[in-house]
A and B are shown apart, each in its own frame.
Chain A
Amino acid sequence: MNIRRGRTAIVGTGEVPTGRFPDRSAIEIALDAARLAIRDAGIDKDEIDFVIPTTAVFSFQFSNELTTCRLVEELGLKNVSANATVFSGGSSSTNALRIASALIETGRARSILFVHCDKLGTGVSAQGGIDLFSTAGISMEWEVPFGQHYSTVAALATQRYKHETGTTDEQLSAVCVSNRKWAELNPNAYFRKPLTIDEVMASKMLSTPLRAKHSNMLFDGGAAFVVTSADHARELTDQPAYVLGEGGVVTHFAYHQEPDLTRFGWARAGRQAFLEAGIEPADIDVAEIYDSYPIYQLIAFEEIGLAPRGHAGRLHLEGATAPGGRIPTTTDGGMLSKGHIGAGGSVSLLVEAARQVMGRAGPRQVPGCRFAVETAVGGTYMDAQVTILGSDVPRGRPA
């Protein structure tokens, strides 16, 4: 196994608030995020030699502008050799980081800017969002005709997981409460008022057993990050976020093809990532877990090794994942409380993982955060992507 541990690093992140901004154009949001990331990295903009935008689901026109180099022109980047969109739905950030790291390691690029922006809060209506996500990533022949959409997708996993593990609705709701406690500390989060389990369990039923407050909501927002070689990272900053390991498993396109809706590909993806990073799940200080619905946070949390099967719900209920808990989890509030901005769900989580490792997470900073694990998923939970970032590069325990 060719270990790439710690050869590249995130050196800067930028993020704008998640919310409803009808008067702000998508390009304005994208440029704000990009400029914040460049400033945070302390890098000369003309050192950026490769730009990776990702797709904005709300607008083909805007996405196409990003694909055709609008960011390079608007930012006035003078030394860019290539601009290429990387898009895999909710796992776009992980795949962008993976490709960026490979380009840097092979000398094809030196410093890469990744940018995401979407306007799913004001760019589409509420029912338009439901309808958009009743076909996006869903088989037009085998699922759409039966009324499949993202609430049913999540509900099907939730129902089976409850059946197999005995996890309760109260425990599922505790995920929402835990993530909200973090969002209360995040000025970029949309939902910042305290939330109780009773409020979650009293909210409108969408698709049994999934309720309205178990569901993410769609918003406008954007974020960006800069990746460079580990050597250059140390010239730019005292504390880069080293890319220590990653693992991925693609399991399906059509949701009903997934053989185990209570596990997906997380176990193998997690093993790959931890092996490459040279650490164990017990070494993790912060877990940024993809949380478009509570069920997915519980499954990934367990399958990558942070808790035994069927125990994650209880840990969330006991407060282990909340501020001050034993394993701080989804510390930016996640899609459930910060808000869902399309591919940006896991962009936010990756940016937050980098901030925690770099010691720049403000009131959410987990003291002494050395290792962070982040997970990302696209489509109808079609893949399991795991990234481990660290404040240093552990030696020993080579694969």
Chain B
Amino acid sequence: MSGATTAPARPRPVVQPWARPFWDSARRHELVLQHCNACNQAIHYPRVACPHCGGGDLGWRRASGRGTLYSFTVVESNAPSAFIADMPYVVAVVRLDEGVQMLSNVVQCDPGELRCDQPVEVVFERLDDEFTLPKFRPLR
């Protein structure tokens, strides 16, 4: 509701304690996914218990970092205040090879060249000292 004079800081993830390993790994440029040891399925986003079988025996596995663009959009106007300076930016739903979906940004690309189902790979972008966000770029 304020004018555009001072843009608010980019929002930081509001982290739940059981998801902390995801963000700690991302800071080290590693993409990890929660894994259910009972039903052997990858889980994203991290849960307090397995959403498939309800079990509580959950661990972490390093992900391939590869997937495909399920869908994407290039934000050209009317962005939230904290993202106005980033326009144009790409928001995408990525289908990871492990079978889970993740919301992220596609970077290091020509937005006009993006296509649904094209292969992408993870890259990491530092937000601040605590957070590094996993993002994606077209697979080369």
Contact = CB atoms under 8 A, between A and B. Distances in A.
Interface string A121-145: 0001101101100100001111111
Contact of A146 (B74, B76, B91, B116): B91
Contact of A140 (B13, B70, B127): B13
Contact of A207 (B74, B102, B104, B127): B74
A141 B16 contact: yes
Contacts of A144: 11, 13-14
A14 B127 CA distance: 50
Contact of A261 (B12, B19, B71, B91): B71
A147 B93 contact: no
B11 to A, nearest CB: 5
A163 B73 CA distance: 13
A149 interface: yes
Contacts of A256: 93, 101-103
A257 B46 CA distance: 12
Contacts of A160: 70-71, 116
Given A145-B127, A157-B71, A254 B80 contact: no
B83 interface: yes
B72 A156 contact: yes
Given A141-B45, A207-B73, A254-B103, A163 B80 contact: no
Interface residues of A, number: 42
A206 interface: yes
A151 B15 CA distance: 25
A2 B73 CA distance: 44
A148 B133 CA distance: 14
Contacts of B86: 147
Contacts of A127: 1, 4, 81
Interface string B56-79: 000000000000001111111111
Given A125-B1, A256-B93, A147 B75 contact: yes
Contacts of A95: none
A147 B80 contact: yes
Most buried by A among B1, B80, B133: B80
B105 interface: yes
Interface in B106-140: 111, 116-117, 127, 131, 133
Contacts of A204: 77
Interface in A248-278: 254-257, 259, 261
A160 B71 CA distance: 5
A159 interface: yes
A205 interface: yes
A201 interface: no
A237 interface: no
Contacts of B70: 160, 261
A131 B81 contact: yes
Interface centre among B14, B73, B91 (most CB of A within 10 A): B73
B10 interface: yes
A163 B116 contact: yes
Contacts of B1: 124-125, 127-128, 131
Contact of B91 (A141, A156, A254): A156
B75 A151 contact: yes
Contacts of A141: 13-16, 19, 45
Contacts of B45: 139, 141-142, 254, 257
A152 interface: yes
A208 interface: yes
A155 B72 CA distance: 8
B43 to A, nearest CB: 11
A210 interface: yes
Contacts of A145: 10-13, 127, 131, 133
B91 A148 contact: yes
Contacts of A155: 73, 91
Contacts of B15: 141
Given A152-B75, A156-B93, A205-B76, 20 more contacts: A127-B81, A130-B78, A130-B79, A131-B80, A141-B16, A142-B103, A145-B10, A145-B11, A145-B133, A147-B75, A147-B91, A155-B91, A156-B91, A159-B116, A160-B70, A163-B117, A207-B91, A212-B78, A255-B93, A256-B93
22 contacts: A124-B1, A128-B1, A131-B81, A134-B82, A140-B11, A140-B14, A141-B13, A141-B15, A141-B16, A146-B133, A147-B75, A147-B86, A148-B91, A152-B91, A156-B71, A157-B71, A206-B76, A208-B73, A254-B45, A256-B93, A256-B102, A257-B101
Interface of B: 1, 4, 10-16, 19, 45, 70-83, 86, 89, 91-93, 101-105, 111, 116-117, 127, 131, 133
6 closest A-B pairs by CB: A134-B80, A155-B73, A256-B103, A140-B14, A160-B71, A128-B1
